[in-house]
């Protein structure tokens, strides 16, 4: 079975946000797959996807602070500045974190670890909604 969905997430504040429930609810057919893969792709150059801690918000906050420190907005070498001081750093963060993920599907569920969640990393201060393409494939029961 193959299936594909586009989902739109509402604007989120800058930071790292768990979106696992939104993803799972968009593809109820996951429970029909014995084994497979779910691929997620975000259609933006200033937001990214990652899998990380789903319990402690401090982990997501620390990761965001590390990214802000590693990719500074006030770097004197930025030339792409027309869209604001957070835009070029957002592009770099997106390249570092990545625009896509692949998650195994096992017995009708995402094969994430106990403390893992799918996260959208919003790198802009005032971003709009974010669009993702979800593609699931696998062997049905």
Q: At what angle are helices 57-70 and 87-97 packed, to 10 degrees?
A: 120
Provide the mean pLDDT of the chain.
97
- pLDDT digit string (tens) for 63-111? 999 999 999 999 999 999 989 999 999 999 999 999 999 999 999 999 9
Separation of alpha carbons 52 and 63, rounded Å: 10
Query: What CATH number labels 2-140?
Result: 2.60.120.460
- pLDDT digit string (tens) for 120-139? 999 999 999 999 999 999 99
CA distance readout (Å), 92 to 20, 47, 56, 68, 104: 24, 10, 26, 11, 28
CA dihedral 128, 59, 94, 91 (to 10 degrees): 70
- pLDDT digit string (tens) for 12-71? 999 999 999 999 999 999 999 999 999 999 999 999 999 999 999 999 999 999 999 999
CA distance readout (Å), 29 to 79, 99, 104: 46, 24, 14
């Amino acid at each position: 079975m193959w299936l594909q969905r586009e989902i739109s997430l509402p604007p989120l504040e800058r930071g790292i946000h768990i979106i696992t429930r939104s993803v799972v609810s968009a593809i109820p057919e996951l429970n029909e797959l014995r084994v497979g893969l779910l691929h997620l792709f975000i259609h933006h150059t200033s937001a990214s996807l990652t899998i990380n801690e789903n319990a402690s918000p401090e982990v997501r906050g620390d990761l965001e602070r590390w990214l802000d420190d590693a990719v500074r907005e006030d770097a004197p070498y930025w030339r792409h500045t027309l869209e604001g001081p957070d835009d070029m750093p957002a592009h770099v963060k997106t390249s570092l974190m990545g625009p896509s993920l692949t998650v195994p599907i096992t017995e009708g569920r995402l094969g994430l670890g106990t403390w893992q969640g799918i996260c959208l990393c919003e790198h802009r201060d005032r971003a709009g909604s974010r669009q993702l393409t979800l593609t699931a494939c696998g062997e049905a029961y």
